[in-house]
């Protein structure tokens, strides 16, 4: 993998690119007059380009560069600020002060909404296993400006960890968090979801296993939630109660934790 900068980088961009090259164990390349296409010919693992605005990942496998963006999280936050109920927050029974573990962070769209919902009294720990996705999310959460104060504050509060979520859950104490959330790669892809296709290429595509759900049930005090395609058989196989969303191809599976035990 190669890490480089935009042409004529500032000192900030230069230092950031050198830091990311070290973190990713990648080769740093002075940009000079080299095109991204030329750099891709030199690296089968892709090219990371640091610009003043964002960090971009290029690959010959992707039609366009991949970079951090809050995506639908911004729309959902605006709706919540207008008093509307967010479906995921409702199903997860998420309230102010909760501790949430998002096991499949990706670019943290759901984690941002959770962070807003739990507020400054709560915590959102987002876990991402893949180095490139983790790096893009980490840099974006720190630097991206949405123009919405509440969204920016929610992003900055997220605690992003690079780890395999199963091993991470194993290390947590019993009943130490309120909500555990899984959004694995769908077993039945939503074909028209263009924003997901790059992530499907970059992300960990291992299926959610019963052992991980068992660990989630051990550490959660309130709910364990999974997002999947509405026609997936994973809800029943993994013990989730499927909750439908009107007129969409996705559904949430919910396991309510029995607090009497």
Q: Which CATH class is domain 72-256?
A: alpha beta
The domain ranges of the chain are 2-66, 72-256
Residue for token digits 């029974």?
Answer: 93
The architecture of the domain spanning 2-66 is 3-Layer(aba) Sandwich (3.40)
DSSP letter for 104, please.
Answer: S
CA angle 62, 126, 257 (to 5 degrees): 125
Report DSSP letters for 54-85, one per residue.
-EEEE-TT-SS-EE---THHHHHHHHHHTTPP
| Per-residue confidence (pLDDT) for residue 197, from 0 to 100 | 55
Residue-wise pLDDT tens digits, 86-145: 999 999 999 999 999 999 999 999 999 999 999 999 999 999 999 999 999 999 999 999
| Per-residue confidence (pLDDT) for residue 201, from 0 to 100 | 58
Beta strands of the chain (E only): which ranges?
2-5, 27-28, 47-50, 55-58, 66-67, 99-102, 123-128, 159-162, 177-182, 220-229, 241-244, 250-256
**pLDDT above 90 for 260:** no
Q: Taking residues 145-171, report their average pLDDT.
A: 97
Same fold, 2-66 and 72-256: yes
Determine contact, residues 241/226, Cβ cutoff 8 Å.
Answer: no
Predicted TM-score (pTM) of the model is 0.92
The residues that bridge with 99 in the sheet, in sequence order, are 123
The residues that bridge with 101 in the sheet, in sequence order, are 125, 180
């Amino acid at each position: 993998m190669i890490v480089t900068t935009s042409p004529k980088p500032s000192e900030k961009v230069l230092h950031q690119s050198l830091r990311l090259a070290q973190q990713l164990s990648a080769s740093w390349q002075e940009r000079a007059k080299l095109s991204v296409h030329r750099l891709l010919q030199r690296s089968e693992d892709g090219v990371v380009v640091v610009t003043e605005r964002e960090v971009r990942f290029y690959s010959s496998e992707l039609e366009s560069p991949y970079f951090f963006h809050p995506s639908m999280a911004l729309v959902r936050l605006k709706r919540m600020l207008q008093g509307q109920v967010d479906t995921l927050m409702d199903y997860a029974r998420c309230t102010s002060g909760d501790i949430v573990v998002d096991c499949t962070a990706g670019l943290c769209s759901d984690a941002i909404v959770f962070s807003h919902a739990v507020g400054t009294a709560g915590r959102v720990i987002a876990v991402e296993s893949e180095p490139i996705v983790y790096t893009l999310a980490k840099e974006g959460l720190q630097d991206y400006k949405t123009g919405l104060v509440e969204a920016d504050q929610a992003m900055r509060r997220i605690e992003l960890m690079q780890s395999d979520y199963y091993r991470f859950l194993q290390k947590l104490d019993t009943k130490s968090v309120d909500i555990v959330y899984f959004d694995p790669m769908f077993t039945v892809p939503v074909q028209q979801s263009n924003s997901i296709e790059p992530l499907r290429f970059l992300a960990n595509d291992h299926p959610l296993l019963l052992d991980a759900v068992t660990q989630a049930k051990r550490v959660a005090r309130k709910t364990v939630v999974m997002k999947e395609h509405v026609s997936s058989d994973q809800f029943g196989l993994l013990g989730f109660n499927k909750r439908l969303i009107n007129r969409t191809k996705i559904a949430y599976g919910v396991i309510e934790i029995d607090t009497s035990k």
